[in-house]
C-alpha cells in the first residue's frame, strides 16, 4: 500500500525529545482536565504535598466512619452519628435521651428538638484540615503547573510543531471517517469554468431523513461558462433551499480538502461563496428585514466575480409585490451581465423565468411536486424547465390553515389571475397596466336587512322576531 507523503511529513513532525516526553508523562495525568481551576491536571505521585491534600478529600468518609465507630464504643451510645452539612460543618449527633452519656470533652455546637450536636477537639482539627484541603490542593496544583510551564519554555517551538501536526492529523482522520461512513467521493478540480455535480446530497438533511427512516433524493447540478445561472422555481418545502445549500457545501468541502457528498463532483476555480438566504432583522442597528436583505444583495453585486458561487434565495419578499419583482428582475440581470458568477437563484416570481428567452446563460429548473387528492406530494427532484405553479395554497393547507381560509384564498386567486390576464394579455412583465376600477362588492343580505331596519318603530315582540330573521340570514 502506498503511503501518503503528507502522512510521512506529519509523522516526522510528531517526533519529540525523550526528556520532554518523560517530563510530560511524569507531571500530567493521562487525561488531564481542560480547566486548571477545577484541578485534576497534575499526576498522582508527582508531588507528596498534593497527594496528601487529595488523600484528605478522598479518605474523608473513611475517617468519619472510623471516628463514629470509636465514639460509639467509647460512649456506649449505639445511635451516635458523625455527619457533615455545609452550614455547621462536621458534628457528632446524640439524641436527647442519651445526653447524660456525653463525655466531658464534647462541646455543644447545635441544639435540635430531639437531639444535640457536638464537636470534639479531634473532629475540629480534622474539620479545619478537610475544609481547607480542596483550596490548598488547587493552589498547589496551579503552582506545580506554572513550574511545568517554566520548564517547557525552551521547548515551545517543538511543542507548537507537534500541536500543529496533531491538529492536522485530527482533521484528516475526521475527513476520512466521514467520507467512509457517509459514502463521500473524491472531488476533481478542473481548469475549465464549471461546477458539475452528479447525485449531490446535503449531508445534514440526509442524516435527519435517515434517522426518520426516509431516503434523501440526490440531484445533479450543471454550471459552466455557457450556463451561469440556474433560476430555480417550485413549491415551498419542495427542496429549493436544500438544493442550493448542498451545492455550496460540496464546493466548500472540496476546497478544504474533504471528500464530498456526491457520486461525482468536478469543480473549476471558485474564489468566494456569497449567500442571500433567510429572513432576519437587525433591530439593534435600526435595520429591518428588507434592509438586511438589500445590504447583503448589494455586497454580492459589488464583490462577486465570475469565479464566485452565489446563492440567492427568494430576493425581494420584504417589500410590495411589484417592488420586489422589479428588484429581483434587475438583480438577476446584473448577475448575468456584469458579475457572471455561478448563480443559483430561487424565486416564486414566475415572471423571471422569461429571462431565459433573453439570456442563453440562464437555465430554468424546478423542484417537482404533484397534487394528489387535494393535497401535494413533494418529489424533491430537480428537473429542467420552470415550475407550473407555486402550490402555496396546498402548503398552507398542510400547515393547518383552516379550510374556510383556503377556500376564500382559492376564490381570490382565481379572481386575481383573471384580472391579471385581462390587464396584461401579452404577458409583458413591466408593461404599464390599464387603470383598474375595483368592482363593487356584493352586499350581504344581512347588511341590507339591517339598513332597512327602524329600531324605534319596533315593539319588543317585533324586535325579537326580527332578531330571529337576522339570525337566519346570517
Give the mean model confidence (pLDDT) for residues 343-371.
91
**CATH 3.40.50.300 residue window(s) in the chain:** 187-401
| Cβ–Cβ under 8 Å, residues 314 and 201 | no
Q: pLDDT tens digits for 21-32?
A: 999 999 999 888
Q: pLDDT tens digits for 45-79?
A: 999 989 888 887 777 888 888 899 999 999 999 99
- 187-401 classified as CATH 3.40.50.300: yes
C-alpha cell at 316: 425581494
**Taking the CA atoms of the chain, what radius of gyration do you get in angstroms?**
39
301/327 Cα distance (integer angstroms) = 12
Give the mean model confidence (pLDDT) for residues 348-363.
92
Q: pLDDT tens digits for 245-259?
A: 999 999 999 999 999
78/106 Cα distance (integer angstroms) = 17
Strands (E), 167-293: 188-189, 194-200, 219-224, 229-233, 264-267, 273-276
What pLDDT does residue 425 have? 53
Alpha helices in 342-454 (DSSP H): 392-398, 403-423, 445-452
DSSP string over 286-331: TB-HHHHHHHHHHHHHHH--TT-EEEEESTTTTS-HHHHHHHHHHH
What pLDDT does residue 340 have? 95
Is the predicted pLDDT of residue 281 greater than 70, yes or no? no
| Cβ–Cβ under 8 Å, residues 306 and 341 | yes
What is the CATH T-level fold of the domain 1-182, as seen in this structure?
MutS, DNA mismatch repair protein; Chain A, domain 3 (1.10.1420)
- pLDDT confidence bin for 423, thresholds 50/70/90: low
What pLDDT does residue 379 have? 82
- pLDDT confidence bin for 378, thresholds 50/70/90: confident
Lowest mean pLDDT among 166-170, 222-226, 376-380: 376-380
6/276 Cα distance (integer angstroms) = 37
| Cβ–Cβ under 8 Å, residues 262 and 218 | yes
Give the mean model confidence (pLDDT) for residues 407-423.
77
C-alpha cell at 201: 446530497
Is the predicted pLDDT of residue 432 greater than 60, yes or no? no
Amino acid at each position: 500500500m502506498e503511503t501518503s507523503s503528507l502522512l510521512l511529513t506529519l509523522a516526522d513532525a510528531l517526533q519529540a525529545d525523550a526528556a520532554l516526553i518523560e517530563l510530560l508523562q511524569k507531571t500530567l495525568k493521562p487525561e488531564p482536565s481542560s480547566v486548571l481551576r477545577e484541578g485534576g491536571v497534575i499526576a498522582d505521585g508527582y508531588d507528596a504535598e498534593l497527594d496528601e491534600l487529595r488523600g484528605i478529600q478522598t479518605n474523608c468518609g473513611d475517617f468519619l466512619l472510623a471516628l463514629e465507630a470509636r465514639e460509639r464504643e467509647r460512649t456506649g451510645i449505639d445511635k451516635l452519628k458523625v455527619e457533615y452539612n455545609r452550614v455547621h460543618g462536621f458534628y457528632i449527633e446524640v439524641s436527647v435521651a442519651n445526653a447524660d452519656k456525653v463525655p466531658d470533652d464534647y462541646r455543644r455546637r447545635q441544639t435540635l428538638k430531639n437531639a444535640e450536636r457536638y464537636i470534639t477537639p479531634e473532629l475540629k482539627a480534622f474539620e479545619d484540615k478537610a475544609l481547607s484541603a480542596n483550596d490548598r490542593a488547587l493552589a498547589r496544583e496551579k503552582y506545580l503547573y506554572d513550574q511545568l510551564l517554566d520548564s517547557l519554555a525552551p521547548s515551545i517551538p517543538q511543542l507548537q510543531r507537534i500541536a500543529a501536526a496533531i491538529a492536522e492529523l485530527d482533521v484528516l482522520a475526521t475527513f476520512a471517517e466521514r467520507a467512509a461512513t457517509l459514502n463521500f467521493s473524491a472531488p476533481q478540480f478542473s481548469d475549465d469554468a464549471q461546477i458539475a455535480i452528479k447525485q449531490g446530497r446535503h449531508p445534514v438533511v440526509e442524516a435527519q431523513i435517515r434517522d426518520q427512516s426516509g431516503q434523501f433524493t440526490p440531484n445533479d447540478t450543471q454550471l459552466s461558462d455557457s450556463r451561469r445561472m440556474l433560476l430555480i422555481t417550485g413549491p415551498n418545502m419542495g427542496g429549493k433551499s436544500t438544493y442550493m445549500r448542498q451545492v455550496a457545501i460540496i464546493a466548500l468541502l472540496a476546497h478544504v480538502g474533504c471528500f464530498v457528498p456526491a457520486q461525482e463532483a468536478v469543480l473549476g476555480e471558485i474564489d468566494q461563496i456569497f449567500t442571500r438566504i433567510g429572513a432576519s432583522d437587525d433591530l439593534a442597528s435600526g435595520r429591518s428585514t428588507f434592509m438586511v436583505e438589500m445590504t447583503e444583495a448589494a455586497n454580492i453585486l459589488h464583490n462577486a466575480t465570475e469565479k464566485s458561487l452565489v446563492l440567492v434565495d427568494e430576493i425581494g419578499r420584504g417589500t410590495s409585490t411589484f417592488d420586489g419583482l422589479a428588484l429581483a428582475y434587475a438583480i438577476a440581470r446584473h448577475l448575468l451581465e456584469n458579475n457572471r458568477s455561478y448563480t443559483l437563484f430561487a424565486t416564486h416570481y414566475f415572471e423571471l423565468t422569461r429571462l431565459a428567452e433573453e439570456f442563453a446563460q440562464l437555465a430554468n429548473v424546478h423542484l417537482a411536486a404533484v397534487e394528489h387528492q387535494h393535497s401535494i406530494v413533494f418529489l424533491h427532484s430537480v428537473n429542467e424547465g420552470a415550475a407550473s405553479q407555486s402550490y402555496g395554497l396546498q402548503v398552507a393547507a398542510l400547515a393547518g390553515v383552516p379550510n374556510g381560509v383556503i377556500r376564500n384564498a382559492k376564490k381570490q386567486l382565481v379572481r386575481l389571475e383573471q384580472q391579471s390576464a385581462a390587464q396584461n394579455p401579452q404577458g409583458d412583465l413591466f408593461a404599464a397596466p390599464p387603470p383598474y376600477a375595483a368592482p363593487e362588492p356584493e352586499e350581504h343580505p344581512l347588511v341590507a336587512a339591517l339598513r332597512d331596519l327602524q329600531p324605534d318603530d319596533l315593539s319588543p315582540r317585533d324586535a325579537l322576531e326580527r332578531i330571529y330573521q337576522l339570525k337566519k340570514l346570517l
